[in-house]
Structure 1
Amino acid sequence: MPQLSAHVRDVPVNQIREITEAAWRTPEAIVLSIGEPGFPLPRHVLEAGIACLERDETNYTPNAGIPALREAFAASFREHKGSVIGADRIYVVDGAQQGLHFAMSLLLSPGDEILIPNPGYPTFAMTSRLLNAVPVGYPLYPAQDFQPRIQDIEALITGRTRVLMLNSPSNPLGAVLGEDLTRDLVELARRHDLWIISDECYESFTYDVPHVSPARFDSDLPGEARVFTSLTLSKTYGLTGLRIGALVCPPGLEQKMNNVMESIVSCVASPSQYAALAALTGPQDYVRDAHAHYRANRDAASAVLKTKGIRFLSAQGAFYLWADVSHVSGGDVRSWTGRFLADSGVALAPGTAFGSIGEGWVRIALCGSQEELVEGLGRLPARPPRDEGQ
């Protein structure tokens, strides 16, 4: 039979899914490898989606989404980001992943380079490869608390570089970009005439530090603005299966955005859009309760790791902990997580799922029950005292 395209054949296995699906096949496994909010959806959100179906509002919507939802996203953006935008810059997308594909489709030609964090979310590289572009990892080192350094990024910029990918709060790290660094990163992109795609999936979950969007430092002028912001309701409201988010675009691109959206999915399902509208404009108890739960789980997990002498990055955002298991992983953390699941019944995401610098580290999801979280981490082998501080 004919072969698949070369860029599809080269897309690597998603190691997060690999270990998680193995865990789902393991009886009574404790699954700490995937970021899936576990709370029941608010009733008013469910009822809004059901009402849409009951009134048979199931036809096409505009490419960019229903007007009321676009305005709700814009209002939320204005309130939380400190950036004044209109609904005309909001495009409702089929979840954050489709938003990232949408943005990269607009910005990357075959052979173009996109700078992505290492460690960073796997689909940053996977999606760009599907577009025949070249992902180039910029390093996030333990010695710098996994924060990017301007000089490291600037050294990687070539004549083929088109896009700088940012992610704060970070998946997998839980790291948050501060205001000064965010401003400097936007200035770096301006200096080298790069686009920015800012993945802000976890914007609602920061702990004792603010979330700062790169859009705050972008120009509002057509032809000078350069920041695309990817938003989702999957994490904020637990709407992972409804596939709903938004892509905020620079001004002046409306017709191009419509053309590309039409060629990818045409429009998002209307029940998901009405559920999203209810989530954004209705009571926010879910978000407050989720924030408190994730923070408490972060603190409980941190306490367990400390008692075992295991080094970890103190998460300032998202709902993950990034922990160093190099004392047991033997230089192959992907294989070790498979053995740990088989031996202990606990699934952790291997750090190499997120890039080469993730070797020896694991990502721990904090979104489930605290009881299971503490029990699962309690099965980790402690670091011998002589290894502490290495």
Structure 2
Amino acid sequence: MPELAAHVRDVPINQIREITEAAWRTPGAVVLSIGEPGFPLPRHVLDAGIACLDRDETNYTPNAGIPALREAFAARFREEQGVDVGAERVYVVSGAQQGLHFAMSLLLSPGDEVLIPNPGYPTFAMTGRLLNAVPVGYPLHPDHGFQPRVADVEALITSRTRVLVLNSPSNPLGAVLSEDLVRELVELARRHDIWVISDECYEAFTYDVPHVSPARFDGGTAEDARVFTSLTLSKTYGLTGLRIGALICPPGLGQKMDNVMESIVSCVASAPQYAALAALTGPQEYVRHAHRHYRENRDAASAVLAAKGIRYLPAQGAFYLWADMSHVTGGDVRSWVRRFLADSGVALAPGTAFGSIGEGWVRIALCGRKQDLLEGLSRLPGAGGR
């Protein structure tokens, strides 16, 4: 067969999927490697999707999504972040990953550089490479609480840099960027005239600190605006399989975004859009319940790690714990998590799935049942006197 394109051959494997799919093939495995909310969906959300199918509303929708859903996303963003966003800037997408792909498709030409967090979510690099761009990791170091330092980011900017990717609350770290740091990073992007893509998948889940969107500090005019905001309902409402989210674009890009939507997906399926509308505008008890559950699981898991002497990053957001297992990984955490699954029946995401600085660390998902979480963590080898 003919050879695949070089940029496709260079896309790295997603190590999260690698270990998780191995766990799904392992009878009785405790799967702590993937962020999959475990609650039943609210009945009114399911009913809205079913009603759409029952009335046979299965034709194309507008490229950007049904108007009521675009306005619901905009209204939520205005309420939560105090940013004056109109529905015309909201594009309904098949999950945050598609929104990320759309944004990068608009902004990156072959050979352009995109600055991504290291450690950071693996598809930041995967999507960049798929578009013939060059991902450049900016360091998030343990001795700085895995927070970006503006000077470190600025030192990596070259004439080829086009995009800065921010992610708060962070997957995999659970770290949350402060208001001052978010402002400084947006100002950095403005000084160097580069775009910002803000991944805010976990915006609903912060603990004792606020979520601050970079859009708060975006330019007041179309000429100065530079922030794309990627949102999803996968985590907030557990709609992972419905693949529904939104990309909030700077003003003035409507026709260009329509063209990108048409060339990649045309439009998102209608039933998930109506389910999403019901989720955003209906009762919010699911979100409140999920927030309580994730916080309780975070606290319980943190206590287990502390008792075992395992260093971890206290999570301020999302639903993960980032734990240092370097005392047993031997410098190859990817191999160690596979051995640990085989020996102990527990799946953890290896830190190297998220970048080179993740060597020796693992990501622990907190979103499942507490008893499964605690059982899995009980099998971790302790760090002794550390």
User: Do they superpose with TM above 0.5?
Assistant: yes
Query: Normalised by the size of structure 2, how large is the TM-score?
Result: 1.00
Matched residue count:
386
Counterpart of 1:138?
Answer: 138
Partner AA of 1:143 in structure 2 = D
- Give 5+ residue unaligned stretches, structure 1: none
Partner AA of 1:56 in structure 2 = D
Counterpart of 2:383?
Answer: 383
Counterpart of 1:75?
Answer: 75
- Write the distance in 2 (CA, Å) between the matches of 1:215 and 1:377: 38
Q: CA deviation at 1:339?
A: 0.3
Q: Does 2:32 match 1:8?
A: no
Q: Does 2:130 match 1:120?
A: no
Counterparts of residues 191-270 of structure 1 (less than 5 Å): 191-270=191-270
- Give 5+ residue unaligned stretches, structure 2: none
Q: CA deviation at 1:342?
A: 0.4
Counterpart of 2:287?
Answer: 287
Query: Normalised by the size of structure 1, how large is the TM-score?
Result: 0.99
Q: CA deviation at 1:124?
A: 0.1
Q: CA deviation at 1:219?
A: 1.3
Counterpart of 1:107?
Answer: 107
In 2, are the aligned partners of 1:220 and 1:250 still within 8 Å (CA)?
no
Q: CA deviation at 1:202?
A: 0.1
Partner AA of 2:47 in structure 1 = E
Deviations 1:143-164 (A, max 9, x none): 0000000000000000000000
Aligned partner of residue 59 in structure 2, secondary structure: coil
Q: CA deviation at 1:81?
A: 1.1
Q: CA deviation at 1:319?
A: 0.2
Counterpart of 2:187?
Answer: 187
Percent of pairs with identical residues = 83
In 2, are the aligned partners of 1:90 and 1:249 still within 8 Å (CA)?
yes
- Write the distance in 2 (CA, Å) between the matches of 1:90 and 1:40: 28
Partner AA of 1:116 in structure 2 = I
In 2, are the aligned partners of 1:93 and 1:245 still within 8 Å (CA)?
yes
Q: CA deviation at 1:303?
A: 0.3
- Write the distance in 1 (CA, Å) between the matches of 2:55 and 2:384: 63
- Write the distance in 2 (CA, Å) between the matches of 1:357 and 1:320: 17
Aligned partner of residue 65 in structure 2, secondary structure: coil
- Write the distance in 2 (CA, Å) between the matches of 1:375 and 1:304: 10
Q: Does 2:348 match 1:348?
A: yes
Q: Does 2:31 match 1:31?
A: yes
In 2, are the aligned partners of 1:220 and 1:251 still within 8 Å (CA)?
no
Q: CA deviation at 1:220?
A: 2.8
Q: CA deviation at 1:384?
A: 1.9
Partner AA of 2:72 in structure 1 = A
Aligned partner of residue 36 in structure 2, secondary structure: coil
Aligned partner of residue 91 in structure 1, secondary structure: strand
- Write the distance in 1 (CA, Å) between the matches of 2:174 and 2:181: 16
Aligned partner of residue 298 in structure 1, secondary structure: helix
- Write the distance in 1 (CA, Å) between the matches of 2:209 and 2:161: 31
In 2, are the aligned partners of 1:207 and 1:316 still within 8 Å (CA)?
yes
Point out 4+ residue stretches in structure 1 off by more than 4 angstroms. Answer: none
- Write the distance in 1 (CA, Å) between the matches of 2:300 and 2:122: 27
- Write the distance in 2 (CA, Å) between the matches of 1:205 and 1:343: 33
- Write the distance in 1 (CA, Å) between the matches of 2:216 and 2:293: 29
In 2, are the aligned partners of 1:41 and 1:237 still within 8 Å (CA)?
yes
- Write the distance in 2 (CA, Å) between the matches of 1:125 and 1:98: 14
